[in-house]
Structure 1
Amino acid sequence: MSRRPRDYRAEYARRIARGAMRGLSRSQARGHPRQTEAQLRIKMPAFSRQLEAGLRAIKSGQSLSEAARSVHVAPERLRRYLAASGIAEKRGGRWTVGPDDTRIRQMLLYSQGAPMVVNVTPAEADIIGRYMAAVGRFLESNDPANLDPFVGEAVTDTAGHRYPLETDPNALYRLDASGGETFEDVYRIVV
């Protein structure tokens, strides 16, 4: 069964008509407004692993176009994401990412024998990241000395709840064998 050929002229006319119903100019309806016209806001995703990789590339010193190319997105899309995130700014013709990323992170941690997903500040996220890396090293090497820096430690989420970090080897083996969500599945920036 063959498809009917597309009628591009009719599609374009519908796009222009829809734009006119919304009060847009012809160029805005096409999706390419003039410099003097208001930009149409495209809803950006709150968190995108791909665009976050571009943000990290810029932080490491790449230009915006190089970073966009490395993560396979258009430079315009990465530029909009940087501006929307609020942690990057353009200085002297280059986009720079500051050290003050205060966005809330959603992360996985092990506390009281159970996996917990919590929203934390960047400082607490750093502790959880080091803790989960130590848990991974412990599970690979069976050396409980990897967990020593976290004995008696706890993290506090954005709501003020404290979560003591699980350092019992048997509980960590049990959690690992349960095969629940991984750290990478859960981690995201909450806007």
Structure 2
Amino acid sequence: MSTKKRDYKAEYQRRRQLAEERGLSIAQARGHARKEETKVSELKRSGLIGSTRTTTVERFYQVIKGVSSGKSLSQAAKDARISVATIKKLDLERNILHRISDSKSKRWETLSRARFPILTKDGKLFKDILLDFKNASIVGDYWNATSKARMGNASALDVFAHTTVFDMNGNQYRLLTSVDDLISIFEQMSDADQEGYERSFASEQRAFRVMNYAS
């Protein structure tokens, strides 16, 4: 039985093309960055380039979206190429999936835990984002940290520098961690906008604490 020979030249050209598309050198793309070059892993952590692979967490949220649209858990897992066991493990700290008690077909439903605003690193404010338990906790901690940052604690947001928040649809958000940009955004708000925002967020925090206590 004959085997097909590898076209090394074509493979090299393909790697070169992918590297150029991502703004990388050939050495970086191969995982052997030169001394003067930044490693790809560091670029990914800083959000300067994205990963070409679908992560396990991304597959998890594909399943959540599938179940929300009416698919069975097993079918959604199969479509996303992730095991049901892995889904249930990831859901332990997110608490999204709940079996429908009156369902004879072992159907599941998805439940969000809170609705929070999210301020992204490019300065965009997204209002009323539905979040699961884990991500609501992260965003709640983030907004508490922004209050400290605005009061002079310059390092309050450092812990969120590489944090990615997922909403219930699997959309990803990188949080704003520049204190100067944060202060600038709030300075541009009118007094009425700030009061309305803080009042709204405070009520969301109370709602989340109630849900947290009840779970």
TM-score (norm 1): 0.41
User: Larger Cα Rg: Structure 1 or Structure 2?
Assistant: 1
Bigger relative CO (Cα 8 Å, ≥ 6 apart)? 1
Q: Which has the higher strand share?
A: 1
TM-score (norm 2): 0.37
